[in-house]
């Protein structure tokens, strides 16, 4: 099957990600752990741009950028070079941003995604390092703001700006690209996508191979699909009415789900780039072999290994490797000698499904337990131990609990903060599968107590059998296996 | 107490009396000053001196007072850069050189006057009014470190720190009859020094004699991890103070004796070269064909960098703030009211030179010329040990004489700015007088070969008496 791309859609992305796993900022020693801190408490003369303060490049930033470049199978520049991008904005304390211009650290990379018609390669034009500006906080709404407060805690945090080729052919491919990109970054342990402002996306989109429009300010990667769907529809409508799509920059209004015109090409800014004289080029070619050694197994390789090593399905392998922490958790469970196929079902299908249903995102794994946090309310968090999952899978595999009971256990573990093992939960809730004699006893009682229903069934009314099974289930408080109960009743009545 | 003392003499006085008394005497001289050399006199100087007395005189500069140019950050003292726009700004951190001075026991007397953001060669563009030349108070002290040079010449400080982007230490040293050094780029940390043109400037010492320049360099030079352009040269400056120029090869670049040079300046410099010859050195003429393009290249690069460096002064976080109905209006008004004419001119020209469509024509071309100028220095200095030339083609001019004519004023940097393009060290030492005004001899060397420059300057100084002359007017 070949994807026809009926609307001639071409999408390219510009993605800013914060290297928020680095402990310090790009050019100073300020901590990047500011998300719960009071404004302007994680600042110093350098990231406030005080007169006379000078930037010093954090080597960890360069190492992380090289890691990203290698993971994207790109070319790494021989040396680091920085430029100044000059513009005035209140969140920009120096009146310029230190960024890379004609010598980005990474060029010509790629990411393979699952496209509309199977594997699809998206080219990475370049990826470069730059500093994040501060953050503006409007008093009241943006439109009717009484004033603006500036928080420079974010100022100087490392950003990697990645620019793709216009290789995506649908909003779905764009979202898949972002999912994959984010996944790779998390594997590299340079990025935590759960933190606010960690990923910001601008998209270039055109239809019928025509003029491209830039859509800015897409803050969530779920927003990308919405913004692109809207923008493609808008451009198609313009053309259908005989108009021409004009080259412009549009702003995505997340609340209303629409894009609005910001500026046309004629108003394009002149950033007056020039080499940053405060930073000397740093030769990095020699660093690459050692950094290559530290590269972890990446998602595609891990997925292939899971299929091979654990004998699980491609679907399960894909799902389990969609998050490094989930993959590690799964391997932690398998290492305890449980059946990897059963563990895959309960981890990839049930556990992950219940997390998604609750809007919980995996946020940590420490070898003993996997933590998760509410996507919108970080106060809601919980965790599940490897040993708990092992116990649950084993109980199920040994036939001691029904699959309904197992689901119930997982839900209970997600919804309560109490540290209870699956065994304790099962005991408390009486979820063990009923013993056979218990079921036999319940069947005998049911037959004795429901003369009329028994006669109806024997007279040919099948429905009555269901009623009798229901009575057995009731007596055993749901612990009986329904099929066993049914078989026993038939055997009792019809021999 | 003698008004003009070397650092060694100051240290003797401190041992005889106390750091407190020496500081008090300097503060008294400053109190009677007629030259407007200081923008701020430190109220903590005496306290600092007392503390040093109490702790015992540790450190190579224990109790020795020093004046600091007002673009070098000192905790607790305003750092105006000679501008209104930094009104009320007091740095919360010390420049690296200040940390080093304090560790050496120096007492900071105050902050000296300068051209606004170091943009000028006369100290007339300061928001705090011009500084007078101690040799003739109707004349400029040179710039932009005019305050630092003038207070040393007037005996208001034994020595001082300035900064040199295109001649800002050497020009006022020449005009005020003191010694000034622009070290090799990278020798002295720029951390905490407010940038005018980052790729060109260095902090440099000004003193009454060559020895004190070396004493100060031994304290302030060295690697600083906070400045990425800093280099550990491991030079021991005082060890270079050898009175011997036998075998020293001097190059005389004829391009530095161009049209418009004052005949007395030319004569004094040649006398100095001949003096060195008498002392055992040899000289030859060298050619540096691209020097004629250096001035244009220098101004384009300096202004371009400045247009970016000065963008941070927007009234948002510190300094002067005008009121405006929104942020953009506030910024425009703040910058309109906060910057002086010369600063605005340079920001505009620099912005223009970096703009799309002009970037290649001006900025990129200036960078190419810079490379050619560097090559001129490399070539010339491959044959000789040092170069000698006039620091300034003319002696100090009258206050107000050139300020309305920026181009003429820019031309006065013609002999000093090529050195900053090349990044090499250069020192100005007194070598004569014309009509009672000092003349400076400029001695340039290879990168990190300050020892050769200092040796030549020291030997010349020890065999002449120009450096012992004092301005009669303030004496």
Which residues of B are less than 8 Å from A134 in CB distance? none
Q: What is the arithmetic mean of pLDDT over B191-200?
A: 98
pLDDT value for A436: 66
pLDDT class for A267, splitting at 50, 70, 90?
low
pLDDT, average across residues A464-481: 85
Looking at every residue in chain B, the average pLDDT score rounds to 96
pLDDT value of residue B474: 45
Distance CA(A351)–CA(A316), nearest Å, equals 12
Domains of chain B listed by start with CATH number: 7-255+266-287+376-468 (3.90.1300.10)
Nearest-Cα distance to chain A for B246, in Å, is 38
- The three-point CA angle A465-A471-A473 to 5° equals 105
Give the closest of B91, B226, B228 to A50, CB-based. Answer: B91
CA distances to A31, A97, A230 from A20, rounded to whole Å, are 10, 18, 31
A49 near B CB under 8 A: yes
Q: What percent of chain B has pLDDT over 70?
A: 99
Tens of pLDDT, residue by residue over B33-69, are 999 999 999 999 999 999 999 999 989 999 999 999 9
When pLDDT is averaged across residues A382-396 and rounded to a whole number, the result is 92
Question: What's the alpha-carbon Rg for chain B, to the nearest Å?
Answer: 21
Place of tokens 């069947």: A443
d(Cα B121, Cα B145) in Å, to the nearest integer?
8
Check: CB of residue B362 under 8 Å from CB of residue B257: no
Residue B235 has pLDDT above 70, yes or no: yes
Reported pTM: 0.90
Of A94, A96, A274, the CB nearest to B363: A274
Q: What is the set of active-site residues of B? A: 69, 144, 168
Fill in the DSSP letter of residue B98.
H
State whether B356 and A270 contact (CB < 8 Å). Answer: yes
**Complex ipTM more than 0.85, yes or no:** yes
- Beta carbons of B312 and A278 less than 8 Å apart: no
Using the predicted structure, report yes or no on whether residue A430 has a pLDDT greater than 80. Answer: no
Distance in angstroms (rounded) separating the CA atoms of residues B139 and B397: 5
Region of poorest pLDDT, from A53-62, A67-76, A125-134, A194-203:
A194-203
Kindly report the backbone phi and psi dihedral angles of residue A277, in degrees, each rounded to the nearest multiple of 5, phi listed first. -75, -15
Q: Which of B71, B190, B351 sits opposite A272 (nearest CB)?
A: B351
The reply to whether residue B327 touches residue A90, judged by beta carbons under 8 angstroms, is yes
CB-CB contact of A46 with A28 (8 Å): yes
CB contact under 8 A, B228 and A272: no
Contact A56 B193 (CB under 8 A): no
Is-contact A11 A207, C-beta < 8 A? no
Write down the pLDDT at residue B2.
62
Whether A147 has its CB under 8 Å from any CB of chain B: the answer is no
User: In a mutagenesis test of the B interface, which of A62, A91, A267, A272 is the best target, namely the one with the most B β-carbons within 10 Å?
Assistant: A272
Contact A272 B354 (CB under 8 A): yes
Give A265's pLDDT tier (boundaries 50, 70, 90): low
**Which of A51, A81, A85, A93 to probe by mutation at the B interface, max B CB count within 10 Å?**
A51
- Give the nearest chain B residue to A146 (CA atoms): B326
Which residues of B are less than 8 Å from A270 in CB distance? Answer: 355-356
Tens of pLDDT along B353-398?
Answer: 999 999 999 999 999 999 999 999 999 999 999 999 999 999 999 9
- Alpha-carbon span A98 to A55, nearest angstrom: 9
Model pLDDT, residue B475: 42
Mean pLDDT, rounded, for A158-163:
98
Residues of chain B with Cβ-Cβ distance to A84 below 8 Å are 308
Q: B462 to each of B169, B245, B264, B453, B455, how far by Cα in Å? A: 22, 12, 22, 14, 10
pLDDT tens-place string over residues B113-146? 999 999 999 999 999 999 999 999 999 999 999 9
Query: How far off is chain A from B363, nearest CA to CA, in Å?
Result: 9
| Kind of pairing between the strands at B38-41 and B107-112 | antiparallel
Residues of A in contact with B194 (CB under 8 A): 51-52
Which residues of chain A does B331 touch, with a Cβ-Cβ cutoff of 8 Å?
88
Kindly determine whether residue A277 and residue B199, on different chains, have CB atoms separated by under 8 Å.
Answer: yes
- pLDDT beyond 90 at A375: no
d(CA B86, CA B83): 6
**Cβ distance of B226 and A54 shorter than 8 Å:** yes
Write out the two tokens for A406: 């197992």
Q: Tell me the pLDDT of chain A averaged across its residues.
A: 91
Q: What tens digit of pLDDT does each residue of B71-81 get?
A: 999 999 999 99
pLDDT reading at A87 higher than 60 = yes
What are A440-443's contacts with CB under 8 Å, separation 24+?
A440/A488, A442/A472, A442/A475, A442/A476, A442/A480, A442/A485, A443/A472, A443/A485, A443/A488, A443/A489, A443/A492
Which site among A28, A47, A52 would you substitute to test the B interface, given the most B Cβ atoms closer than 10 Å to its Cβ? A52
* CATH of A436-494 given 3.40.190.10, 1.20.1250.20, 1.10.10.410, 3.40.50.300: 1.10.10.410
**What is d(CA B120, CA A431) in angstroms, rounded to the nearest whole number?**
87
Where do the structural domains in chain A lie, given as residue ranges?
10-290, 297-429, 436-494
- Per DSSP, the three-state class of A283 is strand
- CB-side exposure of B199: number of CA atoms within 13 Å? 24
Nearest residue of B to residue A277, measured between CA atoms? B199
In the predicted structure, residue A442 carries a pLDDT above the cut 90: no
By Cβ distance, the residue of A93, A148, A278 closest to B312 is A93
Find residue A31's DSSP bridge partners.
A24
Kindly tell me if the per-residue pLDDT of A424 is higher than 90: no
How far apart are the CA of B471 and the nearest CA of chain A, in angstroms? 34
Contact B228 A52 (CB under 8 A): no
The partner residue sitting opposite B228, judged by closest CB among A48, A90, A280, is A280
Distance CA A67, CA A72 (A): 9
Cross-chain residue pair B308–A84, CB shorter than 8 Å: yes
């Amino acid at each position: 099957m070949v994807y026809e791309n009926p609307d001639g859609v071409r999408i390219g992305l510009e993605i800013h990600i914060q290297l928020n796993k680095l402990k310090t900022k790009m050019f100073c020693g300020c901590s990047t752990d500011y998300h719960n801190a009071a404004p302007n408490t994680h600042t110093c003369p350098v990231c406030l741009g005080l007169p006379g303060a000078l930037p010093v490049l954090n080597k960890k930033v360069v190492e992380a950028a090289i890691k990203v470049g290698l993971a994207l199978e790109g070319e790494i520049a021989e040396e680091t070079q920085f430029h100044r991008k000059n513009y005035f904005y209140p969140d920009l304390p120096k009146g310029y941003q230190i960024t890379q211009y004609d010598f980005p650290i990474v060029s010509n990379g790629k990411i393979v995604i699952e496209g509309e018609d199977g594997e699809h390669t998206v080219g990475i034009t370049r990826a470069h390092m730059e500093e994040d500006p501060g953050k503006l906080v409007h008093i009241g709404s943006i439109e009717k703001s009484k004033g603006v407060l500036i928080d420079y805690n974010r100022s100087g945090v490392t950003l990697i700006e990645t620019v793709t080729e216009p290789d995506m052919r649908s909003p779905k491919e764009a979202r898949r690209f972002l999912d994959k990109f984010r996944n790779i970054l998390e594997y590299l342990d340079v990025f935590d996508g759960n933190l606010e402002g960690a990923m910001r996306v601008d998209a270039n989109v055109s239809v019928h191979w025509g003029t491209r429009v830039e859509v800015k300010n897409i803050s969530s990667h779920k927003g990308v699909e919405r913004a692109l769907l809207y923008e493609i529809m808008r451009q198609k409508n313009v053309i259908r009415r005989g108009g021409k799509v004009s080259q412009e920059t549009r702003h995505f209004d997340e609340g209303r789900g629409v894009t609005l015109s910001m500026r046309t090409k004629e108003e394009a800014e002149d950033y007056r780039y020039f080499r940053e004289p405060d930073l000397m080029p740093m030769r990095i070619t020699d660093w690459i072999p050692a950094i290559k050694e530290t590269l972890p197994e990446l998602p595609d390789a891990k997925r292939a290994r899971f299929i091979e090593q654990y004998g699980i399905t491609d679907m399960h392998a894909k799902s389990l490797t969609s998050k490094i922490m989930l993959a590690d958790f799964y391997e932690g469970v398998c290492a305890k000698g449980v059946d990897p196929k059963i563990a895959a079902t309960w981890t990839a299908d049930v556990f992950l499904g219940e997390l998604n249903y609750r809007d919980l995102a995996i946020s940590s794994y420490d070898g003993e337990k996997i933590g998760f946090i509410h996507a919108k309310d970080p106060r809601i968090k919980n965790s599940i131990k490897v040993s708990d999952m092992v116990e649950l899978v084993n109980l199920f595999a040994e036939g001691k609990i029904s699959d309904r009971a197992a689901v119930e256990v997982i839900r209970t573990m997600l919804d309560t903060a109490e540290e209870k093992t699956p065994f304790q939960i099962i005991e408390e809730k009486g979820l063990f599968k009923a013993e056979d004699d218990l079921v036999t006893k319940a069947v005998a009682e049911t037959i004795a107590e429901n003369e009329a229903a028994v006669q109806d069934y024997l007279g040919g009314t099948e429905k009555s059998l269901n009623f009798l099974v229901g009575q057995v289930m009731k007596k055993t408080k749901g612990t009986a296996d329904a099929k066993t109960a049914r078989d026993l009743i038939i055997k009792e009545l019809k021999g | 107490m003698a008004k003009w003392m070397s650092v060694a003499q100051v240290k003797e006085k401190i041992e005889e009396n106390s750091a407190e008394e020496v500081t008090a005497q300097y503060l008294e001289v400053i109190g009677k000053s007629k030259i407007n050399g200081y923008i701020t006199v430190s109220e903590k100087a005496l306290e600092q001196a007392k503390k040093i007395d109490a702790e015992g005189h540790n450190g190579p500069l224990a109790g020795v007072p020093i004046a600091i140019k007002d673009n070098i950050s000192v905790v607790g003292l305003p750092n105006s850069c000679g501008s209104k726009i930094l009104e009320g700004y007091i740095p919360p951190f010390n420049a690296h050189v200040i940390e080093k001075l304090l560790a050496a026991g120096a007492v900071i007397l105050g902050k000296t006057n300068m051209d606004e953001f170091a943009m000028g060669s006369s100290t007339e563009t300061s928001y705090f009014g011009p500084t007078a030349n101690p040799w003739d108070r109707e004349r400029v002290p040179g710039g932009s470190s005019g305050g630092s040079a003038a207070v040393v010449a007037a005996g208001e400080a034994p020595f001082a720190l300035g900064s040199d982007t295109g001649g800002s230490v050497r020009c006022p040293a020449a005009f005020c009859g003191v010694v000034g050094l622009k070290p090799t780029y990278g020798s002295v940390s720029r951390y905490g020094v407010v940038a005018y043109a980052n790729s060109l400037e260095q902090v440099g010492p000004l003193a009454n004699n060559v020895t004190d320049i070396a004493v100060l360099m031994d304290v302030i030079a060295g690697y600083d991890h906070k400045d990425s352009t800093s280099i550990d040269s491991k030079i021991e400056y005082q060890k270079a103070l050898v009175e011997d120029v036998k075998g020293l090869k001097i190059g005389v670049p004829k391009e530095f004796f161009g049209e418009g040079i004052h005949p007395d300046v030319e004569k004094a410099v040649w006398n100095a070269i001949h003096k060195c010859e008498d002392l055992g050195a040899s000289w030859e003429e060298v050619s540096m064909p691209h020097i004629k393009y250096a001035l244009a290249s220098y101004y384009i690069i300096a202004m371009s960098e400045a247009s970016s460096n000065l963008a941070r002064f927007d009234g948002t976080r510190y300094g002067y703030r005008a009121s405006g109905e929104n942020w953009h209006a506030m910024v425009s008004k703040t910058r309109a009211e906060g910057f002086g004419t010369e600063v605005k001119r340079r920001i505009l020209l620099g912005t223009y030179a970096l703009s799309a469509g002009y970037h290649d024509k001006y900025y990129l071309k200036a960078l190419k010329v810079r490379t050619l100028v560097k090559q001129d220095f490399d070539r010339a200095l491959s044959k000789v040990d040092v170069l000698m030339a006039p620091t300034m083609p003319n002696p100090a001019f009258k206050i107000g004489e050139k300020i309305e004519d920026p181009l003429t004023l820019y031309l006065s940097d013609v002999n000093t700015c090529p050195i900053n393009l090349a990044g090499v060290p250069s020192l100005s030492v007194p070598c004569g007088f014309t009509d009672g005004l000092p003349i400076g001899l400029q001695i340039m060397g290879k990168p990190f070969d300050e020892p050769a420059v200092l040796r030549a300057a020291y030997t010349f100084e020890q065999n002449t008496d120009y450096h012992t002359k004092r301005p009669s007017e303030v004496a």
